[in-house]
Amino acid sequence: MLGGNQRQTKLTAPNMNSPILITGASQRVGLALAVELAQAGHLVVSASRSLLPQAAHPNIVQFQADLCQAADREALIQHLHSEYDGLRAIIHNASLWLDDGLENLETMFRLHVEAPYHLNLALGDLLARVDKADIIHVCDETSSRGSKSHIGYAATKAALQNMVLSFAEKYAPTVRVNGILPGLLMLKEGGDDDYRRQTLKKALLEFEPGAGPLIETVKYLLASQYSTGSQVVINGGRHLKNRMI
């Protein structure tokens, strides 16, 4: 469990008291999403293992938590209940892409399945206090087709995708619950030209889109009035590139 005296940073909040909780928002796509929503005027609570300067923004509260640990999740839940009147949304973005193995499977299960399950149940009352609230599960395109090289990752993301259906039914009609299934959005750091070329060839749209498609989809789901229990695929046509004819 992370040290309590380092757990959170405070800010002078704008005239909002129903923030958007985003997990794994300290880097890459999650960070870009948090900053975009903050710049749009939302109050964002960013729950991540690290507190980083690049995540600093007057509309972002950083809360340090290892979401694989139940005690850290309980501290986050307590903080949200004590500081805010409600929750506008929960976006489960935290993710680990680990090699197969029992220890890594357990870690990914805790982050991709146990943590969202725990937070959705424990924060349901805060979501219910808002006229229209959302839960968004950021899954993966492999969660619907499997992956021979990352079996545990695909399996735990599939469980996260399945929970969209259950929580959509449980929390309707006030809370909309949807999933996003992204393919490659950002190439990993340090990859060579061959890695870049081979990776981009896996999609019909052979370019690195960055965080934009995820941000656009989140904004759509936050604004949508008639979508729940749905999955939005943003993978550049990967599912069609190598299909058997």
As given in the structure block, the two tokens for residue 203 are: 């999609």
Catalytic residue among 117, 153, 220, 226: 153
DSSP string computed for 3-46: -GGGSB------S---PEEEES-SSHHHHHHHHHHHHTT--EEE
Is 195 among the catalytic positions?
Answer: no
State the number of CA atoms in the 13 A half-sphere of 208 facing the CB: 11
d(CA 183, CA 205): 11
Contact 26, 49 (CB under 8 A): yes
Catalytic sites, residue numbers: 153
